[in-house]
Amino acid sequence: MAMTHSPTFILTTSGEGLQLPQQDLAGPQGLAVKRYSYLEDMIMTLTQKTRHVFLLAVATFFLFATLSHAADFKDDVALLERTSKAISHVAETATPAVVHVDVEKSVKAQQMPSFEFFENPFFEHFFGPDFRQQVPKRQERKQRGQGSGFIINKEGYILTNYHVVSDADEITVTLNDNTKVEAELVGTDPQSDIALIKIDHGNNLPFLPLGDSDKMKVGEWVIAIGNPFGLDQTVTVGVISAKGRSKVGLNEYENFIQTDAAINPGNSGGPMLNIYGEVVGINSALYSRTGGYMGIGFAIPVNMVKAIKDQLMNNGKVIRGWLGVVIQDVNEDLAQSFGLEKARGILISEVQKDSPADKAGIEQGDIIVSLNGVELKNSSDLRNRVAMVVPGTKTDVGIIRNGKEQSIKVKIGEQPKNFARGGKSYDPGGAFYEKYGLSFQELTPELAEQLGYRDEEGVLIGDVEPDSAADSAGLQPGQLIQEINKKRVTSLDDVDKVMKQSTDTGRILLRVHSGRYSQYVVLVAE
């Protein structure tokens, strides 16, 4: 049977009504003609008035369609205008509380190798004890740096990054009205790159409220304010690109918010704000192969900052919780080996003797899946959450043992000074420790993964004695030693060998890597 097609109706303005193209009709010719005649008779019976009404209705339809499209466009513009005004309002409201942080520190100029040669004790023995007094000494010079910060209360407390103010002799804060005020260092936490400073400038300073970074979602708008390259009160806008970024290799404790809002050198320490003007993060670092903006910036989530800020304000330092286990993420191979349906949780590869975990009955081979009922994402998530628990607090640790889930209550301990996380430790002789206040620890694959040293080699600083040469030089447990007296070290055996070969001059040269960079540090026996 031949297919039939409905005739096409074309509206004309000639007063002839509707034209029905003959070629659009299909089927037997007689049927087509009859069909055409029937429709034509029907249309021609319409009065002139009826046709005018019909035409008016169609014209009205197109008019309203056009007006509706124009209204939609107007609504879109209005939405963009409201968004623009909201961002502008946040910037206008927040900038008075954002400050420029300038620091000045004393550093010793690099001594020429020819003069270092005369440090050898042989010359003192040959020329006499006053010989070294005639050798030119390294001169101190002033080094300046800058960053950003923001006021968090009327009393003048200011949050910024540790790397902005570390080792500073003087800290100067420039307020929004260009007033310069000397600031005092209240406390720092190098492990999270957070610092708290304070200015005395009345009790009615503008400040920023702290929001809730856990509520922020990927794709939401954020506003960054700071002083990139010294350009005061620069505002940039972007979205949250990702949350929970860890193992970036910047800090020991990482849970970064990733953003595409432009963050450049000088932005460090400035606030990341939501559309309500609340701080949701501290701008901390950027990923770049050029030294400038490449669309990837990192901020410390404000919920991590809050707990640290309170401790710095009250104690000047941070006391962290401690579980006492060596951990690693569970991958697909490990999941299969431990009888899990999918990769989840954190595998305990070692339990330290007499640690809180050991006392609570946690065993090697257990898989931790939750803490106080909160499911854990990875090993970094576990470390961050345990660290923020107040020592002495009883905590429910959810584990999988032999394929069965159970909960163990653990009394969280205080993280020891030597940051013992497993692996052999080494003190090259008690006399050495007494001289420099420093011991070393083996860098195991698990520790390298936890501390962000996956692609590095060396030995860890295990313990730093307070008020020792190592402490005065700013060394911290967990930093990586890559060289001793210009000799590369990758194990404790290397350390032992280098120390036995070195002449005891009362000085030791270390190359220290702390995640962001490496630098040489000289320890002088006290």
Instruction: Report the pLDDT value the prediction gives residue 432, as an integer from 0 to 100.
Output: 62
Together in a domain, 354 and 304: no
Poorest-confidence range of 115-124, 185-194, 203-212, 482-491? Answer: 115-124
Neighbour-count burial of 359, counting CB atoms closer than 10 A to its CB (0-12 exposed, 13-18 middle, 19+ buried): middle
Spatial distance between the Cα atoms of 449 and 328, rounded to a whole number of angstroms: 8
**Would residue 419 count as lying in a domain?**
no
In the predicted model, what is the mean pLDDT of residues 501-509? 78
175 has pLDDT over 90: yes
* For residue 14, pLDDT beyond 70: no
How far is the C-alpha of 251 from the C-alpha of 514, rounded, in Å?
A: 8
CA distances 311 to 119, 376, 390, 419, Å, are 44, 25, 10, 19
Q: Are residues 113 and 24 in the same domain?
A: no
More confident residue, 254 or 184: 184
Judged against a pLDDT cut of 90, whether residue 15 lies above it is answered with no
Q: Is the pLDDT of residue 51 over 80?
A: no
| Same domain? 357 vs 298 | no
Query: Do 345 and 482 lie in a common domain?
Result: no
Contact of 172 with 158, CB cutoff 8 Å: no
| Distance, C-alpha 421 to centroid of its chain | 23
Provide mean pLDDT across the span 198-213. Answer: 92
Q: For residue range 392-401, what is the model confidence (pLDDT) as tens digits? A: 999 999 999 9
Domain termination site, one of 414, 441, 474? 414
Classify residue 80: in a domain, yes or no.
no
pLDDT attached to residue 113: 44
The predicted pLDDT at position 139 comes to 57
Cα torsion 64, 65, 70, 76: sign: positive
pLDDT at 187: 92
Segment among 46-55, 92-101, 188-197 with least mean pLDDT: 46-55
Residue 320 pLDDT greater than 80, yes or no: yes
Q: Which residues define the annotated binding site?
A: 104, 163, 193, 266-268
Q: Are residues 435 and 389 in the same domain?
A: no
**Per-residue confidence (pLDDT) for residue 49, from 0 to 100:** 57
Which of 364, 383, 414 is the endpoint of a domain?
A: 414
* Of 221-235, 459-473, 504-518, minimum mean pLDDT range: 504-518
Binding residue positions for substrate = 104, 163, 193, 266-268
Whether 357 and 446 map to the same domain: the answer is no
CATH of the domain at 361: 2.30.42.10
Residue 313 and residue 212 share a domain = yes
Q: To which H or E segment does residue 80 belong?
A: helix 48-94
Residue 485: pLDDT over 50: yes
Mean pLDDT confidence for 13-23: 40
Spatial CB neighbours of 196, under 8 Å, sequence gap ≥ 6: 157, 158, 159, 160, 185, 186, 187, 188, 309, 312, 313
The domain that holds 144 is classified in CATH as 2.40.10.120
CA 473 to chain centre: 27
Which whole number is the average pLDDT over 411-416?
A: 88
Task: Return the HEC string of 424-470.
Answer: CEECCCHHHHHHHCEEEEECCHHHHHHHCCCCCCCEEEEEECCCCHH
Closest CA to 98 of 182, 163, 161, 175: 175
Rounded distance, CA 332 to CA 263, Å? 36
Tokens found for residue 367: 């898989």
Of 414, 436, 470, which closes a domain? Answer: 414
Q: Are 27 and 4 in contact (CB under 8 A)?
A: yes
Specify the pLDDT at position 54: 65
What tokens were used for 46?
A: 């319409």
Q: Model confidence at 216, in pLDDT bands (50, 70, 90)?
A: very high
Predicted confidence band of residue 511 (pLDDT cuts 50, 70, 90): confident
Nearest to 225 by CA among 274, 295, 186: 274
Residue type, 271: P
The residue range of the domain holding 23 is 10-45
Note whether 225 and 372 are same-domain residues. Answer: no
Q: Residue 516 has what pLDDT?
A: 59
CA–CA gap between residue 314 and residue 95 (Å, rounded)? 27
pLDDT (tens digit per residue) in 24-48 = 444 444 444 444 444 455 555 555 5
pLDDT, average across residues 227-255? 83
| Inside any domain, residue 23 | yes
Residue 375 in this model has a pLDDT that exceeds 70: yes
- Can you name the residues that pair with 181 across neighbouring β-strands? 173
pLDDT at 464 over 50: yes
CA atoms within 13 A on the CB side of 135: 20
The per-residue pLDDT for 433 is: 63
Question: How distant, in Å, are the alpha carbons of 250, 259, 320 from that of 515?
Answer: 5, 21, 20
Instruction: Write the pLDDT tens digit of every residue in 78-128.
Output: 778 888 888 889 989 999 999 999 998 876 554 444 444 444 444 444 444
Identify the residue with better confidence: 9 or 104.
104
**Distance between CA atoms of 198 and 154, rounded to whole angstroms?**
11
Are 313 and 213 within one domain?
Answer: yes
Angle at 123 between CA 122 and CA 124, to 5 degrees: 95
Question: Left (φ > 0), alpha (ψ -120 to 50) or beta: where does 403 sit?
Answer: left
Helix (H, G, I), strand (E, B) or coil at 60: helix
pLDDT tens digits for range 115-172: 444 444 444 444 445 545 554 555 566 778 889 999 999 999 999 999 899 888 899 9
412-427 mean pLDDT: 61
* Tally of domains within the chain: 4
Q: Which secondary-structure segment (H or E) carries 128?
A: none
Check residue 179 and give its pLDDT.
Answer: 93
What mean pLDDT, rounded, does the chain reach?
Answer: 79
My answer on whether 143 and 240 are in the same domain is: yes
Say if residue 357 is in the same domain as residue 496.
Answer: no
Domain assignment present for residue 288? The answer is yes
Of the chain, the percentage scoring pLDDT greater than 70 comes to 74
Same domain, 331 and 308: no
In a domain, 281, yes or no: yes
pLDDT (0 to 100) of residue 20: 41
Q: Active-site positions?
A: 163, 193, 268
Give domain status of residue 1, yes or no.
no
Residue 50 lies in a domain: no
SS3 content of the chain, % helix, strand, coil (to 5): 30, 30, 40
Asked if the structure places residue 347 within a domain, the reply is yes
- Residue with the bigger pLDDT between 468 and 140: it is 468
User: How far is the C-alpha of 107 from the C-alpha of 497, rounded, in Å?
Assistant: 31
